[in-house]
Amino acid sequence: MEKRVLGKSGLEVSALGFGCMGLNFAYGKGLNRQQATTLLGNAVEKGITFFDTAEAYGPFTNEEIVGEALKPYRQDVVIATKFGFTEGDYTVGFDSSPKRIRSVAEASLKRLKTDYIDLFYQHRNDPNVPIEDVAGTVAELIKEGKVKHFGLSEADVQNIRKAHAVQPLAALQSEYSLFWREPENEILPTLEELGIGFVPFSPLGRGFLTGTIDANTKFEDSDYRKIVPRYNKENREANQALIDVLSRIAKQKNASSGQLALAWLLAKKPWIVPIPGTTKLSRLEENIGSATLVLTADELGQINTAVDAITLVGSRDPEM
């Protein structure tokens, strides 16, 4: 698989990464540890070198799975993890205090079975801690060799600029796909200006863009999508128009709608690295196929024009 560099950081990763959250968290039952280890090993063997996890996925168990699975390949892969929640639990609250950041780093190093974290993200902004203090703490960890690069997740432009001024950011991670294009308004221009890479999570719209989810799909009680308005039955039915368009264009390319959605992201900018997740080898192979799917300027225009004509409905976040 081709490699990409995240902005001006020098951090080189495979053009397509692997979002590990769904292995055991948020999307239903998931895989047992042996199954997850096998799948991650397959990902490495097929050319993926960039793996994304977080202490909050579990909490903690996802990092343990990733650390064990990637231990044999450690020198050949880039591992990203995250801090920012009280006790690692996103339901409890935020905590990006310097003390907590250091505590998370030490614990993550142990769970990941490594002596350095390639990319350390703040998972979400902590309104009680100035972003300059967060960036300064990660800068110290970088000087100590425990962290290689700094990133933010779902940050706004103001915090991106403030953090970057203290410790240059290698990447911003946020949701971005043909199902959610808000980052195009301010985020992408800012990242391009500052030389920061972009790592879209949920690049397949949490599975919707694969065309395998429709109005009749039943989600498990433990599946996060069950409480997200965009994925309720009525909104899935209304948003099916997007899948119909993608499927039609994908057919012309002898590709799946999911592959087209990933190829669209890859074609946007050379410093964009999507991180689709999966629990199935067949889906992993399908996703990897998108990295060789070339879209011309005319084809990109065709996709954009078609998608712009569709009004998507439903909030991407649970109602509070």
- Cα–Cα distance, 158 to 161 (Å, whole number): 5
Residue 261 included in any domain: no
**Nearest to residue 156, comparing CAs of 186, 197, 178?**
186
Instruction: Output Rg (C-alpha) for the chain, integer angstroms.
Output: 19
Tell me the pLDDT of the chain (320 aa) as tens digits.
999 999 999 999 999 999 999 999 999 889 999 999 999 999 999 999 999 999 999 999 999 999 999 999 999 999 999 999 999 999 999 999 999 999 999 999 999 999 999 999 999 999 999 999 999 999 999 999 999 999 999 999 999 999 999 999 999 999 999 999 999 999 999 999 999 999 999 999 999 999 999 999 999 998 989 999 999 999 999 999 999 999 999 999 999 999 999 999 999 999 999 999 999 999 999 999 999 999 999 999 999 999 999 999 999 988 64
85, 93 contact by CB (below 8 A):
yes
Please indicate, yes or no, if residue 234 is contained in any of the structural domains. no
Cis before residue 229, ω within 30 degrees of 0? no
Tell me whether residue 152 is in a domain. yes
In 68-139, beta strands by DSSP E: 78-83, 117-122
Whether 138 and 164 have beta carbons less than 8 Å apart is answered as no
The reply to whether 57 belongs to the active site is yes
Please state, in angstroms and rounded to a whole number, the distance separating the CA atoms of residues 166 and 180: 30
From CA 255, how far away is CA 211, in angstroms rounded?
A: 12
Q: Which range of residues forms the domain containing residue 272?
A: 3-207+268-293
In a domain? residue 137: yes
Q: What is the DSSP letter of 294?
A: -
Helix (H, G, I), strand (E, B) or coil at 177: strand
Check residue 317 and give its pLDDT.
85
**Per-residue pLDDT, 82:** 98
User: Model pTM?
Assistant: 0.97
Catalytic residue among 27, 57, 121, 176: 57
pLDDT at 320: 45
Q: What is the pLDDT of residue 318?
A: 84
- Position 8 in a domain: yes
In a domain, residue 306? The reply is: no
Is residue 248 domain-resident?
Answer: no
CATH of the domain at 50: 3.20.20.100
Per the structure, the count of domains in the chain is 1
Q: Give the C-alpha distances (Å, rounded to integers) separating 63 from 35, 46, 90, 254, 269.
A: 15, 21, 15, 37, 29
Q: Distance between CA atoms of 215 and 293, rounded to whole angstroms? A: 29
Residue 223 lies in a domain: no
